[in-house]
Structure 1
Amino acid sequence: MHACTSTILINWFIKQQIIPMKYLIRFCVFFLLSISYTNAQTNFTVTGVVADSSGLPLIGAIVKISDGTAGTATDNNGAFKLTLPQGRYTLVISYFGYQEQQKTINVNKNLVVTITMEEDILSSEVIEITDKAPNENVTDTKMGATQITVEEIKTLPALFGEVDIVKNIQTLPGVQVAGDGNTGLYVRGGGADQNLIVVDEAPVYNASHLFGIFSIFNADAVKSAELYKAGIPSQYGGRLSSLLDVKMRDGDSKKFKATGGIGIIASRLTLEGPFAKGKGTFIVSGRRSYADLFLLLSSNPDTRKNKLYFYDLNGKINYQFNKNNSLYISSYYGKDKFKFGGLFGMGWGNFTFTANWNHIFSDKVFLNTIYTHSEYKFDLGIDQGAIAFNFGTGITENSVKQDYQYIPSVRHQLHLGWSVSQREYNPGKFTPSAETSIFAETVLPRYHSLEGALFASNKQKLTENLTLDYGLRLNMFNNVGTGTVYNYNGDPVTGTKIDSTVYGRGDIINTFWGLEPRIAARYLLDEQSSVKAGFNRNYQYIHQISNSLAPVPFDVWVPSTNYFKPEAVNQYSVGYFRNLKDNTYETSVEGYYKTYTNSIDYIDNANLLLNPQIETQAYIGKAWSYGAEFYVKKKKGRLTGWVSYTLSWSYKQIPGINDGKKYFAGYDRRHNLNVIASYKISDRVTFGGQFVFGTGRPIGLPTGGGYAIDYFWLGVYPERNSYRLPSYHRLDLSITIDQRKKEGRRWEGSWSFSIYNLYGFAHINPWTVVAQTNKDTGNKEYVAIYFPAPIPSVTYNFKF
């Protein structure tokens, strides 16, 4: 069935003349030749899992042959694979904070081994839980990629006491932030909608809670998060800037556990353990904020009607049927609710579902078959007499992907596969909610699309020093009916509508395709240093309609159409990586240059809400960005942390905007500095600090002329993004105190005290600046909107 499905897809691409037969043959021959040579002697595969005493997999444990001839690191499931000639070997398994293990094996057939690591009590004062091999940043072909584990950030300052992986990813080089409380990622000159965020393979369309104060990722339920700024694996596509791959934790396979925390703003609880006689594990994690409960204490009856809270729930089940077949099912549901005075309210939320079946065909061939479902919905309402209304928008996606992994020899790791995604877009439904409402119902037609892809990649070790990681992704995107396409006399913005074309259900409205080559090379200078270079092309076929960087999730998604062509980016990158003092320090310098085509930007005072002709509000042109990133990370000792600095430029040049001259993109920041530190004062006390500095981002402000509506000024913009906000900087501090441990007591607790933006009373970091008319004087004025600070918090964390 798998082969049949792949054949149908390939035949479809050929019949549609999307890719000529001669190029497909050349591509297949190239891949076959690249893996055609193998060693003359017989090789066998040793596979296994490295776990701690509770059965939890250890990510990044080192597994090597005692003579150093072969080695690898465990993946996100604690699994490893080694291909070895026939013979007798001693495996050496090491993981920081655990006792080194040795295991002698006789390789005369394919073997499966299980390694259990015991904690090294003597080194418990400096235990560091790492996610990779000690020098993997040097030896791997990955560049522009960083992985962070929850354990790595739990001692750092947290806003309102909540550990947040996204907030810490924002401190990495090449990642810009729009302002306080914003969970959007602006990566190497790209917009927040140009990042593919997946949770156990399911895409997430909005990752914020409480207007960006928190992200949707509950730290107790997350295993790791890896950000790719370049070199995105070929099995992922559909976004221009980055991939944020979030993995949820598996439940404990040995015993039942509970973990949680009680804070002044939110609390959380996680339950996990085994079932089905050890064949399966489960984990359930829930979280809720309760700021609205404090409002009930107010003496003002209107204040008691206000609501501002979020909740979310994570669940995951793993089950192993036999040694060749396993299944995990993962799901997330979260919701935000805001209501003011019983009159105005809004809400938004995500739902994801993943079913992943892993099948082992042989010791060299593995298959993941993945189904995902994702929903994002936003609603807004006013319940106030003549202006009472409800508004809703959202997007739904269903996807199926098969990813084959083939390891023919120690020099090759081959990925092959295909994926199909179906989406439904709700650009907006506006309905009156009271008989006295002056509004009429407005329902925009829904869009539908079908996206398919074929992908292949090969990680190939050419010599002991040179390794290549190259691949190709072929995308096909169809905008399908029902739908209406408007035709214009000239450009949609300046021309006039002359007629329209109506498409029936299932009719193909547009077909787009794109070929995405991706290649990375690593050359080892010595065991502690390397140089890397890479190129990748990415296409994006869906667009977020928004001209604001504010954290309110008031966004609409639409597919590529006749007028909104697919956006594309070419990225060139180069870097130097070096570790110092026995891998205690990781250092890197990376440079990048990116060019964008079909970049979208909106006209001044654009009308984006409930506009069936959204193409009349936007122009399309080009964009480019470039910069240098510097990174130093200390991994061992009582003092750990990292320093990142980014020097970058981001420009756009779009006919019809800014008189056709180039201008700064709204998320351009010249300088961006982050200093993150954690110091272990004693066995029980850890101190954390974080300093952030960034050049103010550019904004556009209206000048004279124009007109006011409800005190908001719609004016004339002499130049696009010609002003800059003040420089952004803040200092956060925290201290974590662990409860004394007693022999035989299962309960463990800790107190975390933190303060966000320590000197916020003396320095304001505005989100944005808006122009409005003063109600008293009638004069135009600029008003800064900012996040109140400083903000102290306290949280009690526990587990048993």
Structure 2
Amino acid sequence: MKFILPLTLMLLMVAAVHAQSTYTISGTIKSQQTGETLIGASVKVLNKQTGTTSNEYGFYSLSLPAGTYRLEITAIGLQPKVQEVILDKNKVLNLALADADSKMDSVTVTATSRGRSISSSQMGIERLSTKEIRNIPVLFGERDVVKAIQLLPGIKSAGDGNAGFYVRGGAADQNLILLDEAPVYNASHLLGFFSTFNSDAIKDATVYKGGMPAQYGGRLSSVLDLKMNDGNNQNYSASGGIGLISTRLNVEGPIQKDKSSFLIAGRRTYADMFLKLSHNEDIKNSQLYFYDLNAKMNYALGDKDKLYLSGYFGRDKLGFGETFGMSWGNSTATLRWNHLFNSKLFSNTSLIFSNYDYKVSIRNGANNYNIFSQIRDYNVKQEFQWYANSNNTIRFGVNAIYHRIRPGEVTSPGNSAVNGQTLQERYSFENAAYATNSWKISNKWNVTYGIRLTAFSIMGKGDFYTLDNTGAVTDTLHYNSGDVVKTYLNPEPRLALSYTLTPSASIKGSYVRNVQNLHLISSSTTSRPTDKWVASTNNIKPEIADQVSLGYYKNLAGDKYEVTVETYYKTMQNQIDYRDGAEIFNNMDAIETQLLFGKGRAYGVEWLFKKKTGHFTGWVSYTLSKTERKIDGINNNEWYNARQDRTHDISLVGSYQLNKKWTLSANWVYYTGDAVTFPVGKYQVDDQQVFYYTKRNSYRMPAYHRLDLGATCTLKQTKRTLSELAFSLYNAYGRENAYTIEFRESESDPTKTEAVQTALFKFIPSISYNFKF
């Protein structure tokens, strides 16, 4: 015992001396030209294996022993900067990076990420910017971040004319899509041909397809986190484009230079204008267009406080004459307050609103009616980022969301014979608390560990049902407003680690559990705007997924090339599918009676080879995967293919800078046809032909493949101005990919059945003029 007290005092003195000699350098990293904060900018200490990256608001913090250091600051598309720092006290160092030289003899970087961190424990992540996707040829020449991410391994397109995408075996509703922290429930325009997001207004897009950090929750498969531009706080500028079917305009500038700025971006298609040329009155009076508006402003209250206010509003209109009309759209708003308590503790407080609704109007003589459905969220989030020391970054916070779902209201205008009906509204609270730590154990080992605790409370008022094994209602309980029907409490642990083999190679592994309490109910095999969201009930339990991943990462030839291989295995609980012959939308008050629940599994391997620098850049991605469900009451209680199961998925993407004026691009995609259920026979009932089905999803649509070509001609370019012509040819060799396959009696021989395939596109050329000044 006599040695313990002196030893303890000695250790305390050493710790105190160490603490006194360790200081923190912190600040914000911005673009010199626009004043935009830079997400994920790298701050490296030269000649030492340490550094950090800026967070989603451009803030960084790095603790080092006292001394003189040379810091290298880099960000994609901007000139690297080396800054010498004498660290003898805590210092605030705000940094600005200049735009990269656009001359041909400079190195051109157009990779699909900012350069994957070899040492970081985070895996299954891709980052995109509009600069990186500008040369990818797309439908009608409209640059689209959502379509671009579908060219990456593990992320699969839902197909032509389909909204959404599939990630590692998950369904389209299992992706969390955030725009400035606000959930977007339907991220598509024109039935999936365009996404909700105007690329002119987007600064950054990050996709997590495995091992997502603990601050994200509510979906099983992935997170697509999009950040809007803050607005140029140095100069006024405008940009936009004029295409064959759409026009867009973006205006931004300082409210008070260096202190505040604004951004307004709008977009509208005008396909409906061409309908006016028709001689058919119904077609002339039809509607087919969408519009959207992004707006954002920010204001620096001082050195330690900043306010952001951003919003989005978009809507689609589709109608045929006076007989049918449909509209759908999203609206979001986010108010955020950043506060810096000190050089190590960063706070973000957010108030968030999100709304998605659709309206259908049908006029059919005496049977006139309107349908309305809506999901609306009120959301508050408080988060802290604590840069404890150079080896530990801790992130913790709380989140509370109030969901209000109106599954359907039917009203009959005028003297219609249709009776009105209002389906029960559903209310719920989704609360979460989380904490995670990124720990640098050594120069070779990094680990991120954390947990998210979610509590989903189903609230009254309304009727809730007890079901028997056949799905029939055996009892009904009524709850008043404010009553708690049931609360689901679920812990969601997260673990990710990396081991650096060499300075250019590493292996990584992760485990993550995710829980989902909102579910999309669809009446068809394709995603439509009229699909309905329902919350967990006393019968519909939260979906739960456990995923383990393992990956190998290698940079080649001085980081000019990148090779990535990731494999994963995911198990899923409480998966939802429909009973045979289910009538989904005639039983919305007791939707559970039409559903069955079981388990799922998904596994696969993803390869990515990427060339990141030079005149020719691009990547090749390949995914080999399997996705299955096993639900009692379906397919004789045996495993069957999930709708989104695809064995093979290949993408080839290339861009070649021919000279200072011309850039050529192309991409080719191939994937196995979707799993579908086709009839195996037919029989007659009361002189009506009825098809006979056996196994669920045991057939395949034809394989999908398509080649797209693009070329961009730069007419004029300076540091502040740009004008260019963008040409593209979608589906260059005219492949008639199947959109639907239907079965009918042969017109020439009623005893025979014929399959009729419908394809949407063959050759789609487009030209657009883009500008910036």
Q: TM-score scaled to structure 1, two decimals?
A: 0.91
2:632 counterpart of 1:659: no
Match of 2:469 among 464, 488, 491: 491
Match of 1:642 among 619, 624, 637: 619
Report which stretch shifted further, 608-617 or 257-266: 608-617
Counterpart residue number, 1:19: none
Q: Distance in 2 between matches of 1:688 and 1:147?
A: 20
Deviation at 1:40, TM superposition (A): 4.8
Q: Distance in 2 between matches of 1:749 and 1:155?
A: 14
Q: Distance in 2 between matches of 1:60 and 1:131?
A: 15
How much is the aligned-residue C-alpha RMSD, in angstroms? 2.3
Structure 2 CA distance for partners of 1:82 and 1:606, relative to 1, 3 Å: same
2:495 counterpart of 1:519: yes
Verify the 8 A CA contact 1:539 1:569 in the aligned structure 2. yes
CA deviations over 1:474-527 (Å, ceiling 9, x no partner): 110111001101233x2253xx43331111101111111101000000000011
Counterpart residue number, 2:698: 722
CA deviations over 1:591-624 (Å, ceiling 9, x no partner): 0000011111002232111412211111101110
Q: Distance in 1 between matches of 2:497 and 2:766?
A: 46
Question: SS at the partner of 1:577?
Answer: strand
Counterpart residue number, 2:12: none
Counterpart residue number, 1:782: 755
CA deviations over 1:31-81 (Å, ceiling 9, x no partner): xxxxx9995553221112333332233444432333335323334444322
Verify the 8 A CA contact 1:354 1:370 in the aligned structure 2. yes
Deviation at 1:728, TM superposition (A): 0.3
Deviation at 1:96, TM superposition (A): 5.9
Q: Distance in 1 between matches of 2:161 and 2:561?
A: 31
Structure 1: 5+ residue stretches without partners: 1-35
2:724 counterpart of 1:750: yes
Counterpart residue number, 2:412: 432
**Within 5 A, what are the aligned runs for 1:253-402?**
253-402=233-382
Structure 2 CA distance for partners of 1:799 and 1:67, relative to 1, 3 Å: same
Deviation at 1:128, TM superposition (A): 4.0
Residue type of the partner of 2:125?
A: A
Q: Distance in 2 between matches of 1:191 and 1:775?
A: 37
Counterpart residue number, 1:560: 536
**Within 5 A, what are the aligned runs for 1:706-717?**
715-717=691-693
Structure 2 CA distance for partners of 1:363 and 1:658, relative to 1, 3 Å: same
Counterpart residue number, 2:3: none
Residue type of the partner of 1:621?
A: G
Q: Distance in 2 between matches of 1:275 and 1:439?
A: 54
Deviation at 1:551, TM superposition (A): 3.9
CA deviations over 1:418-453 (Å, ceiling 9, x no partner): 111100111111122341x33211211100001111
Deviation at 1:341, TM superposition (A): 2.3
Question: SS at the partner of 2:191?
Answer: helix
Deviation at 1:247, TM superposition (A): 0.8
Counterpart residue number, 2:449: 470
Deviation at 1:723, TM superposition (A): 1.0
Q: Distance in 2 between matches of 1:285 and 1:429?
A: 33
Counterpart residue number, 2:738: 766
CA deviations over 1:739-764 (Å, ceiling 9, x no partner): 13479xx652100010111122xx32
Question: SS at the partner of 2:131?
Answer: helix
Q: Distance in 2 between matches of 1:322 and 1:91?
A: 26
Match of 1:536 among 496, 499, 512: 512
Question: SS at the partner of 1:686?
Answer: strand
Question: SS at the partner of 1:302?
Answer: helix
Structure 2 CA distance for partners of 1:74 and 1:684, relative to 1, 3 Å: farther
Verify the 8 A CA contact 1:604 1:717 in the aligned structure 2. no
Residue type of the partner of 2:142?
A: E
**Within 5 A, what are the aligned runs for 1:612-651?**
612-651=589-628
Match of 2:670 among 655, 670, 693: 693
Q: Distance in 2 between matches of 1:570 and 1:660?
A: 22
Q: Distance in 2 between matches of 1:708 and 1:640?
A: 61
Deviation at 1:548, TM superposition (A): 2.8
Q: Distance in 2 between matches of 1:134 and 1:209?
A: 29
2:143 counterpart of 1:163: yes
Q: Distance in 1 between matches of 2:411 and 2:113?
A: 56
Question: SS at the partner of 2:694?
Answer: coil
Q: Distance in 1 between matches of 2:285 and 2:488?
A: 50
Structure 2 CA distance for partners of 1:208 and 1:742, relative to 1, 3 Å: closer
Verify the 8 A CA contact 1:297 1:304 in the aligned structure 2. yes
Counterpart residue number, 1:27: none
Report which stretch shifted further, 109-118 or 273-282: 109-118
Verify the 8 A CA contact 1:181 1:213 in the aligned structure 2. yes
CA deviations over 1:608-653 (Å, ceiling 9, x no partner): 1141221111110111010000001111001111111000000111
Structure 2: 5+ residue stretches without partners: 1-14
Match of 2:125 among 142, 145, 153: 145
Match of 2:657 among 666, 669, 680: 680
Verify the 8 A CA contact 2:458 2:536 in the aligned structure 1. yes
Match of 1:669 among 620, 642, 646: 646
Counterpart residue number, 2:30: 51
Q: Distance in 1 between matches of 2:337 and 2:395?
A: 17
Structure 2 CA distance for partners of 1:96 and 1:239, relative to 1, 3 Å: closer
Report which stretch shifted further, 65-74 or 373-382: 65-74
Name the % identity.
42
Q: Distance in 2 between matches of 1:174 and 1:728?
A: 16
Question: SS at the partner of 2:273?
Answer: helix
Verify the 8 A CA contact 1:427 1:445 in the aligned structure 2. yes
Deviation at 1:468, TM superposition (A): 0.3
Counterpart residue number, 1:10: none
Residue type of the partner of 1:439?
A: V
Structure 2 CA distance for partners of 1:396 and 1:777, relative to 1, 3 Å: farther
Counterpart residue number, 1:444: 423
Match of 1:454 among 433, 446, 456: 433
Q: TM-score scaled to structure 2, two decimals?
A: 0.94
Deviation at 1:356, TM superposition (A): 0.9
Q: Distance in 1 between matches of 2:101 and 2:568?
A: 44
Question: SS at the partner of 2:584?
Answer: coil
Question: SS at the partner of 1:388?
Answer: strand
Structure 1 residue runs of 4+, over 6 Å off?
A: 130-134, 706-711, 774-779
Verify the 8 A CA contact 1:61 1:133 in the aligned structure 2. no
Verify the 8 A CA contact 2:103 2:660 in the aligned structure 1. no
Counterpart residue number, 1:580: 556
Deviation at 1:771, TM superposition (A): 3.5
Verify the 8 A CA contact 1:550 1:767 in the aligned structure 2. no
Report which stretch shifted further, 700-709 or 397-406: 700-709
Structure 2 CA distance for partners of 1:131 and 1:105, relative to 1, 3 Å: farther
Question: SS at the partner of 2:650?
Answer: strand
2:716 counterpart of 1:740: yes
Residue type of the partner of 2:726?
A: S
2:21 counterpart of 1:42: yes
Deviation at 1:709, TM superposition (A): 13
Counterpart residue number, 1:600: 576
Q: Distance in 2 between matches of 1:714 and 1:148?
A: 49
Verify the 8 A CA contact 1:468 1:520 in the aligned structure 2. yes
The number of aligned residues is 756
Verify the 8 A CA contact 1:93 1:100 in the aligned structure 2. yes
Q: Distance in 1 between matches of 2:760 and 2:685?
A: 26
Verify the 8 A CA contact 1:61 1:132 in the aligned structure 2. no
Report which stretch shifted further, 120-129 or 606-615: 120-129
Structure 2 CA distance for partners of 1:135 and 1:393, relative to 1, 3 Å: closer
Q: Distance in 1 between matches of 2:101 and 2:635?
A: 64
